[in-house]
Amino acid sequence: MRQVQTIADLRSAVQAARQRGQSVGLVPTMGYLHAGHLALVDAARRDNELVVVSIFVNPLQFGPREDFARYPRDLARDAALLQEHEVDLLFAPSVEEMYPRPLATFVEVPDLSQTLCGRSRPGHFRGVATVVSKLFHLVQPDRAYFGQKDGQQLAVIQRMVSDLNIPVEVVAVPTVREPDGLAMSSRNIYLSADDRRHATVLYRALQHAKALITDGERDGRRVAAEVAQRVAAEPGVRLDYAEVVDWETLQPADVLQGRVMVAVAAYVGQARLIDNLQLTVHADGRVTEH
Amino acid sequence: MRQVQTIADLRSAVQAARQRGQSVGLVPTMGYLHAGHLALVDAARRDNELVVVSIFVNPLQFGPREDFARYPRDLARDAALLQEHEVDLLFAPSVEEMYPRPLATFVEVPDLSQTLCGRSRPGHFRGVATVVSKLFHLVQPDRAYFGQKDGQQLAVIQRMVSDLNIPVEVVAVPTVREPDGLAMSSRNIYLSADDRRHATVLYRALQHAKALITDGERDGRRVAAEVAQRVAAEPGVRLDYAEVVDWETLQPADVLQGRVMVAVAAYVGQARLIDNLQLTVHADGRVTEH
């Protein structure tokens, strides 16, 4: 695996692969890799001849009172993991390399960015869309891999790619979970042993929602209220939101049909955790999970 | 010259050229071509093996009370001109092809979009940046050609390309003028014979500004005031703005040094016309024009 810090080195390495006729897969990350990231890497490895992983803790997507400074970082460990997973190229730029002067250009998907996490994280998805668009232009991958765990991010990026005709295939990869159901997240490091036990309520509440919908419940607000109630009742957990939304609009789905997302966010100890479930409610009543 | 209406046909034609190893130049236009556009085409022809011209009157960059509906269109005449100028590929999509559903994603350069023309055309440069970013993703050109006449548009696009790392070289082409100095514009068609005579005041005022600066004037506000006064004094002409701005920020340049733009906009009859002069005031006092 080759590791580069500069845009010039990244571009020339990718260009050399292109000239050899290789397909290119990109996995954008903020590092501190866990099994969820590695599932993205493995999917990219299966589909592409050149696999590029970026590690960049993007200041633009953190609010002023969020955890940019203390966000966990361990580049040496990440590099060793990526090497094991047969990554070809690791791009780990500095903030100065990505933002050599104050950014004046932003990519925004306002309608999908102001709901759900956007309400407590104004500017977050603008930061995500902007940096992902930069990475797409830098690498020009054939495919890019994102986890379903960041469901709203996935929706924003899919919409950006479609609306702006960006020539990349966005591949969604299912959430990887701990044995007790907790979704893998770099922020799980913030959890104490007690927090860690309570944090599983997100998964348990989502599984309850899935059972309700599978059993025929079609009132999205009722499902959301049940999820909210379970999460809020857990000691040491403060609910941010629980919603059932239409996948295309991310607006509350009153009547469940087509592709929907049950999404939940909560503060657990020092961490803000999110999780979701992506389902399709078919016309014949079947419910399938993505 | 091949003419295509669909994104699929455009992509496959460009891809075929790429596979032949050809360089690609893009000239984005709204059609109703004049000598200014053809100067862009000729520059693209000199630099590239495949020349792509797009003709698309982009509704997203017109305000609700602007001239989208009556903007002049003549695709047959345009196609004949482009054929004469040895263009390889003309992309003339419908609005539905470019915007198959309501757009949810926007590219914005807010700091450069709210000054000058942005004040009387809110949303205009967001529309420009967004559609140009779509065209860049559709064609993936090596070089793209823009006229200096739309100075603020050029600044917005250069900044977007730099900030978002879009892999394209933006080539600025000098304004083409009528013998009496009037800048070529598709909107000149709106001018009556009387308007047409009065419209030259924009060029005359800019030439006066250039003379002042060449003679040593370094107070940007004084230059702007002289331009404003000359334009406002012309019968049948209503001044929108006259400003002297720093090229990087598009903010008023109090003291003229480095690259600056003298920009003017005015309503003449049924038309809103713009013009500008791009100068560098060197440290040794020399003044050069771009």
pLDDT in tens, B211-240: 999 999 999 999 999 999 999 999 999 999
Res B28: pLDDT = 98
**Closest by alpha carbon to B244, among B212, B204, B215, B198?**
B212
Length of chain B: 290
A109 vs B104, B138, B164: nearest CB: B104
B90-143 pLDDT, tens digit each: 999 999 999 999 999 999 999 999 999 999 999 999 999 999 999 999 999 999
- Segment (H or E) for B13: helix B7-19
Angle at B35 between CA B120 and CA B53, to 5 degrees: 80
Minimal C-alpha gap between A189 and chain B (Å): 32
Q: What is the mean pLDDT of chain B?
A: 97
Name the β-bridge partners of B280.
B259, B288
Alpha-helical runs (H) found in B200-269: 201-214, 220-233
**Which residue matches tokens 């982009």?**
B58
Q: How confident is the model at residue A113 (pLDDT cuts 50, 70, 90)?
A: very high
**A108 and B109: CB-CB below 8 Å?**
no
- Segment (H or E) for A258: strand A258-268
Question: ipTM value of the model?
Answer: 0.96
Residue intervals of chain A classified under CATH 3.40.50.620 are 2-173
Name the CATH superfamily housing domain A2-173. Answer: HUPs (3.40.50.620)
B133 vs A108, A112, A164: nearest CB: A164
CB A205 within 8 A of CB A242: yes
**Taking residues A72-83, what's their average pLDDT?**
98
Helix, coil or strand: residue B6: coil
CATH classification number, A186-283, choose in 3.10.150.10, 3.40.50.300, 3.30.1300.10, 3.90.650.10: 3.30.1300.10
Residue intervals of chain A classified under CATH 3.30.1300.10 are 186-283
Q: Which residues of B225-240 are buried (b: 16+ CB within 10 A; e: fewer)?
A: ebbbebbeebebbebb
Residue intervals of chain B classified under CATH 3.30.1300.10 are 186-289
Q: How many CB pairs under 8 A join A and B?
A: 71
CATH 3.30.1300.10 for the B186-289 domain, yes or no: yes
Q: How many CB atoms lie within 10 A of CB A64?
A: 6
**A106 and B107: CB-CB below 8 Å?**
yes
